Amino acid sequence: MPIDLALLFALILALAYGIFRYLRWRRERMLPYTPALARIEGGGVKRGLTPAEGAVLLGRPLHVTLTLVIFEMLRKGFLRQVAAEPLTVEVAEAFRTHNRGLSPQARGDQRRAAAQAINATLHLYEEPFLEIIEAHPGRPVAELDLGVAVQPLVRYVAGRVGGYSLEESREYYRLIIERAPREARSDGRLTFERQKVLDRNFGWVLLGEDFAAVLDAPELSYLPLWLRPPRAAVDELGGRSFAAWAQAVMDSLAGVVAEDDVRLTLGREEDATTATLLSDITRTTFYG
């Protein structure tokens, strides 16, 4: 009998220990997992980025990137320009979703359907900008709180380029920016053909260091699609060329995003890339 009691006691101890180990294992499985930021960068070039995404990848100042986002949505017809000085825009009727009792998901679905109807692509990073602009009708772009849209934009780009070589990808887009003006200036191009080339490379040209010289050539002073008849509905630029006005718009957006707006809580796998992009953007935006 004493032997049986000792055996039973041992079995109870073993069972209790097993239950303890199982509960501990289960609890650890249920805790949120925070992966390390350090990881091996992948190889190859990430192609297919938009000029705004390329600006983030290259660490360009935020006021340049924000200008590209707004101009691209004007070009695609998601926004309409209502004033040039200061630049004021409004969300096009088909893309307005507020005050209709729609959920965030339904608002996004409606905007994507509207974009598809005009054969345009609505990028995820553009949706926060549409939300902000629609929520503040009549307010100049430089007075909008665009900082809240910066984090989704940077995270979106980091997610797209994660797993690729940052340096190889950056070199690829630097070459695109260098090539865009040369393509527009090719000898023998007619004015109409040159305008089509600039339409296609518009955002990349604006990322060039001397975009004014490209857009204000002797034979052609370029106007983007949204400023050409019949879409234009205002005395757009007050006698200035588009290139000069675009530079003024960029300058007006300097300082609209605070340094705190580009600080993120990191911890996800792609945040290694996010941290790199944010570091470069912060350096060029706030510290020159």
Give residue-wise pLDDT tens across range 149-164: 998 999 999 999 999 9
Mean pLDDT computed over 167-193: 83
Mean pLDDT computed over 188-216: 86
- pLDDT for position 114: 96
What confidence category does residue 64 fall into, taking pLDDT thresholds of 50, 70 and 90?
very high
Dihedral sign, Cα of residue 128, residue 160, residue 46, residue 112: negative
Q: Between vectors from CA 287 to CA 285 and to CA 288, what angle results, nearest 5°?
A: 70
Domain-wise residue ranges, the chain: 1-31, 51-286
Q: Between vectors from CA 241 to CA 236 and to CA 247, what angle results, nearest 5°?
A: 95
What confidence category does residue 194 fall into, taking pLDDT thresholds of 50, 70 and 90?
confident
Mean pLDDT computed over 227-247: 81
Is the CB of residue 271 less than 8 Å from the CB of residue 279?
Answer: no
Residue 125 pLDDT > 90, yes or no?
yes
Question: Residues with Cβ < 8 Å from 275, sequence gap 6 or more?
Answer: 37, 266
Rounded CA gap, 163 and 253, in Å?
A: 32
Give residue-wise pLDDT tens across range 9-41: 666 666 665 665 655 555 444 433 333 333 445
Question: pTM of the entire structure?
Answer: 0.82
Rounded CA gap, 100 and 91, in Å?
A: 15
